[in-house]
Structure 1
Amino acid sequence: MAELELITEKSDPAVQRILDVTKPSRSSIKTTLIEDAEPLLQCLGAGLGFIEVYGSENTPVPADLLAACAERNVPVRLMDTTVVNHLFKGERKPKIFGIARVPRPGTFGDVQQRTGDVVVLDGVKIVGNIGAIVRTSFALGAAGIVLVDSDLGSIADRRLIRASRGYVFSLPIVLATREEAIGHIRESGLSLMIFDADGELAVDDLGAQDERLALLFGSEKTGTSDGFRGIPSTSVSIPMISSAESLNVSVSAGIALHERTRRNVTAD
């Protein structure tokens, strides 16, 4: 394989491109930074369009990543250590990273075209939890995720990309208002399951249901909002010992989706 070109000058156009992408106050997010080999491979596999991928001069670019980039005609170059340090002052310095074009936002129509259950997160704001739910939802066959009141302005948020290990682009994720999410559930005919400590059903009852479900999880502090309780729904609880106050929302979502694998993974 040909030797990779080394970027040694801070004046290289790629350097300014990366600096622009990492600005926290961008008003329009058209490109994003993907960090580390595993997320890069996942994003390439999901069809994300890359402008270029970079490695640091002292870290070999994995052969499988080089092959994936070559297959998709994505340029790969190395960066001098001083240039990497210039780019990532005062923060974690990735050894391998790339600049990708942000795809259009997910829509309810995208979610409807898929066969699995829909995960709805109402007021879940901790990005680490959202990212973990994204990974689990993809792995266990969910059709997509609807984020309500998440405080995220884009699914291309670097924190979310990191937390999801790049899976954020592998299934539709819709940023919606509460009214839009409620309207979609009504119009789509999805059976709404609201997770609550005192549910009518236990979570293992979900495995026997063949219809497509909307699985609604609220924040750990406030639960789900009253607006969702105004539409036909069934409450679901996860049995646990009485001395435990609650489960992390990403754990709850994982338990629920695991109960649905017979239906969702087969349907997928």
Structure 2
Amino acid sequence: MAGSSRRQGAVRRSGTKKGMVVGSGGQRRKGLEGKGPTPKASDRPNHKAYKQKRPAGRKASGRPAPRRKTGGTEVVAGRNPVVEALRAGIPVSTMYVAGRIESDDRVREALTIAANRGLAVLETPRTELDRITDGAAHQGLAIQVPPYDYAHPNDLVDTGQDGPALVVALDGITDPRNLGAIIRSVAAFGGSGVVVPSRRSVGMTASAWKTSAGAAARVRVAQAGNLTRALEDYRKQGLFVVGLDMDGDVELPGLELATEPLVVVVGSEGKGLSRLVRETCDQVVSIPMASGTESLNAGIAAGVALYEVARRREHA
């Protein structure tokens, strides 16, 4: 009984035959081939070095990275920024300190200020601190600034202060350092507050607090949904609206309205006053400057105007 055809279970089905069968198509051979040299760490999307190589604020796809929503809060990261913010008296809800942080003079000063002010201090893993600061160079230290409690524009008129009202309104100002400088000038020259639009305008950020050098704790900032309408409401309440512009009709030393209840509107350094705001003003005033100087920084221009108003009121 040669062969295996008679063995139990060795049955050849009909219609089949030995010979060529469908192969793998070379798939197994391709699987054995090499894939080339290992890419550099900075070229692998899932590697930390790749993320560090990317331009700040952009995803690998080239589209802008979405801003992390914080519910109106702001996070200040880095040892120097945190210490400077605490020195300026910026309101802070929480301080984050990385675990096993290497302490230096800045860290010790930040912890001392936090302890004296009774701030909440949380020891946080570095990975969590990376997430909280959105990947910023936090150096193991960060603070969270709560949302600013804006006033209503009408609250700046009924302040009970002596003398005529003096309010500053900002039109198109987007730099928080200008806002901080203007708040400082308002405090120095007897103003009652600052009005900012709610859209396309600077807000009370940590940078504005810091630049104000503590004046933001004494000067209220109001937010207006529509600046033109807010200025019209001021006029109905008896205030005069004066706009600062290099092409003004009156030069600042000749401002006769300085002794009246006043709203001083400061436009952006580049575009100046917007059309609707300019049309709402009772007067548009320019600051005389030496030839060759095109314009002043918005914060400086506001300070000069407020000084002149305070000087004229004192000698009225």
Instruction: Judge same fold: TM > 0.5, yes or no.
Output: yes
Instruction: State yes or no: 1:53 paired with 2:101.
Output: no
Taking structure 2 as the reference length, what is the TM-score of the superposition?
0.58
**Structure having the larger proportion of residues in strand:** 1
Question: Which 5+ residue runs of structure 1 have no aligned equivalent?
Answer: 1-22
Counterpart pick for 1:173 among 221, 225, 239: 221
Asked if the contact 1:32–1:156 (Cα under 8 Å) also holds between the matched residues in 2, the reply is: no
State whether structure 2 residue 187 is matched by structure 1 residue 133.
no
**Which residue type is aligned with residue 150 of structure 2?**
P
Spell out, residue by residue over 1:73-100, the C-alpha distance to the aligned partner (whole angstroms, 9 max, x if none). Answer: 3334666878766754653437764334
Distance 1:221 1:57, change over 3 A: same
Q: Contact conserved, 2:114 with 2:120, CA < 8 A, in 1?
A: no
What is the number of residues matched between the two proteins?
Answer: 236
**Counterpart-to-counterpart distance in 2, 1:85 and 1:79:** 10
Q: Is the contact made by 1:53 and 1:97 (CA closer than 8 Å) also made in structure 2?
A: yes
Q: Which residue of 2 aligns with 1:99?
A: 144
Distance (whole Å) between structure 2 residues aligned to residue 175 and residue 109 of structure 1: 10
Query: Could you say which structure has the larger radius of gyration?
Result: 2
Match of 1:5 in 2: none
User: d(CA) in 2 for partners of 1:260 and 1:202?
Assistant: 13
The match for 1:39 among 69, 85, 89 is 85
1:1-268 → structure 2 map (5 Å cutoff):
24-26=67-69, 28-29=71-72, 31-33=73-75, 35-43=81-89, 48=91, 50-54=92-96, 57-60=102-105, 66=112, 69-70=115-116, 72-76=117-121, 88=133, 91-93=136-138, 97-114=142-159, 115=161, 117-148=166-197, 151-152=200-201, 155-158=203-206, 160-161=208-209, 164=212, 168=216, 170-176=218-224, 177-205=226-254, 209-231=258-280, 233-262=282-311
Q: Contact between 1:204 and 1:259, CA under 8 Å: does it hold in 2? A: yes
Alpha-carbon separation, structure 2, partners of 1:238 and 1:95? 46
Distance of 2:182 and 2:75 partners within structure 1: 21
DSSP-derived class of the 2:284 partner: strand
The one-character-per-residue Cα deviations of 1:51-81 (angstroms, maximum 9, x if unpaired) are 33356652345669836753x5333466687
SS in structure 1 at match of 2:259 = coil
Q: CA deviation at 1:189?
A: 1.6
The code of the aligned residue for 2:252 comes to V
Amino acid corresponding to residue 69 of structure 2 in structure 1 = R
- Paired residue type of 1:155: G
Contact 1:207 1:260 in 2 (8 A): no
Question: Structure 1 65/25 Cα, relative in aligned 2: closer, same or farther at 3 Å?
Answer: closer
Name the CA distance, whole Å, in 1 between partners of 2:256 and 2:138: 43
Aligned residues of 1:119 and 1:216 also touching (Cα < 8 A): yes
Structure number with greater CO (CA < 8 Å, separation at least 6) is 1
Contact kept? 2:167, 2:194, Cα under 8 Å: yes
Structure 1's 251 and 86: CA in aligned 2 closer, same or farther, altered over 3 A?
Answer: same
Q: 1:194–1:205: structure 2 CA closer, same or farther, 3 Å change rule?
A: same
TM-score normalised to structure 1 length: 0.67
- CA positional deviation for 1:119: 1.0
Tell me what 1:8 maps to.
Answer: none
Root mean square deviation, CA, Å: 3.9
Deviation at 1:143, TM superposition (A): 1.5
Gaps of 5+ in 2: 1-65
